[in-house]
Amino acid sequence: MRLNKNYSTVLLLGALSAIGCTNSTSSENSVNFSVENKLDFDRNEVISITTDQLSRLLDKNSSKDLRLKIQGQTDYLPLQWIDYDGDGKEDEVVFFVNAKANQTINYEFVVDSVNLNPQPKNVAYSRFVPERVDDYTWENDKIAFRVYGPKGQESFLQGVKGSTLSSGVDIWLKRTSKSVINEWYAGYTKDPMHYHVDKGEGYDPYHVGDSRGVGGSGVWVKDSLQISQNFVTYKTISEGPLRTVFELTYNPWSDYKVTETKRISLDVGSNFSKFEVFYKSVKPLPNYTVGISLHKNEGTPDLNVKNGWFSHWEKIDDAFVGEGIVLDPAKIDSAFANVSKVVDQSNLLILTKPEDKLTYYAGFAWQKSGQVNSKEDWQKMLDKKAKEIASPLVVKIK
């Protein structure tokens, strides 16, 4: 059938109108906002916006149809929705920001049910690991950690060789941006020494034992550190890919019968895990303590109480590792390097004022990863993290 010119024009306008309805950026189908970096250095961070801030879009549209882009650009950015309380409704959306020094970037959420959100090149990831008793392990493109569960504790108390009794935080040294957890544990099932040998991607040479590792907690009482045993339950809130989040609980511990829940998160691109610790006690606590293992006291501890960062620079095998903790200086009561002749009892300890919740960041950088070359490089990274905590990126909904 031959169409006349006027009818063809009507069809074309109708098709364009339909596309406009799907990908509309009108005020009814978009939300504009800005992200401001107030610091004098570039920042590459994952940040979040709550679903309440996007209620105008979410009241009429599904979150799976929301897309994010920089205003004036056409490419969409990777997104991740997180439901923290498990009620089936998202609580926030996270995305990656590359902001130059003192830069403000304008973004736009739009509704698009046709084009898919892109996947990030690098990922953050975590999971429970039953194939090695009951570790819980997490990683991103920079670093990896693990902690130990109740079966490992039970096996240790029964004298099973190779089992672990520890509430310290273990670290895995990576020099690849890809995810290694599944591959390394698959190798472990065939050879328990698999990930203890560097085959080009990194390895696990770090000893935790009864120490605090990198970010383990306790209570300092009468020149002695009281600590919990292994975690007893876990809950994966989000595997990733931009932010992985999970919770660990511990049986009551110490003379104060501390009940502790740790919510731990790790963002892609970051060298620091965020620890949000919720705790209660039968008796008032004198402090809440966070630490870093000093191993055999052969490394260099540095305590910057004023800026809220604490560093340990040590050589492991043939390369150096910088380990650190960063927190709000206002929360700190005191800090010191506790040197002991007892194995695993030498720790850099930060005593904080006891509150219902404590937030701190624990992380590291390995010389062979190319992220740092010297102790000074590592301390600059810690100093930047402290400044980022004190001056978070500012989000303004328009």
Strand-pairing partners, residue 331, are none
In this predicted structure, which of 137-141, 155-159, 350-354 has the lowest mean pLDDT? 155-159
**CA pair distance 2, 14, nearest whole angstrom:** 18
Q: Quick one: pLDDT band at residue 58, thresholds 50, 70, 90? A: very high
Query: What letter represents residue 282's amino acid?
Result: V
In this predicted structure, which of 26-40, 105-119, 372-386 has the lowest mean pLDDT? 26-40
Q: Where are the alpha helices (DSSP H) in the chain?
A: 5-22, 55-58, 150-157, 181-190, 375-390
pTM: 0.91
Burial class (CB in 10 A: 0-12, 13-18, 19+), 238: buried
Q: What is the pLDDT of residue 233?
A: 97
Give whole-number Cα distances, 230 to 166, 220, 285, in Å. Answer: 6, 19, 21
Q: Quick one: pLDDT band at residue 27, thresholds 50, 70, 90? A: low
Q: Quick one: pLDDT band at residue 236, thresholds 50, 70, 90? A: very high
Is residue 148 left, alpha or beta, with left meaning phi > 0 and alpha meaning psi from -120 to 50? beta
Q: What is the pLDDT of residue 184?
A: 97
Q: Which CATH architecture has domain 125-394?
A: Distorted Sandwich (2.70)
Q: Is pLDDT above 50 for 260? A: yes
Inter-residue contact 122 to 112 (CB < 8 Å) = no
Q: Is pLDDT above 60 for 4? A: no
Q: Quick one: pLDDT band at residue 22, thresholds 50, 70, 90? A: very low
Q: Where are the domains of the chain?
A: 24-114, 125-394
**Hey, is 151 helix, strand or coil?**
helix
In this predicted structure, which of 36-40, 79-83, 158-162, 372-376 has the lowest mean pLDDT? 158-162
Q: How confident is the model over 84-117, as pLDDT tens digits?
A: 999 999 999 999 999 999 999 999 999 999 999 9
Q: What is the pLDDT of residue 75?
A: 97
Q: What is the pLDDT of residue 29?
A: 87
Q: Is pLDDT above 70 for 126? A: yes
Q: Is pLDDT above 80 for 51? A: yes
Residue 251 token pair: 């049986």
Q: What is the mean pLDDT of the chain?
A: 92
Helices and strands counted in the chain (H then E): 5, 25
Q: Is pLDDT above 60 for 26? A: no
Q: Is pLDDT above 80 for 319? A: yes
Q: How confident is the model over 213-225, as pLDDT tens digits?
A: 999 999 999 999 9
Query: What letter represents residue 20's amino acid?
Result: G
Residues 6+ apart with CB under 8 A from 52: none
Q: Is pLDDT above 90 for 196? A: yes
More confident residue, 10 or 68: 68
In this predicted structure, which of 157-171, 224-238, 290-304, 308-322 has the lowest mean pLDDT? 157-171
Residue 77 token pair: 């950015």
Instruction: Please report the sign of the dihedral spanned by the C-alpha atoms of residue 288, residue 292, residue 298, residue 304.
Output: negative
**Hey, is 186 helix, strand or coil?**
helix
Strand-pairing partners, residue 125, are 139
Q: What is the pLDDT of residue 5?
A: 38
Same fold, 24-114 and 125-394: no
24-114 CATH: 2.60.40.1180
Q: Is pLDDT above 90 for 11? A: no
Mean pLDDT of 165-185: 97
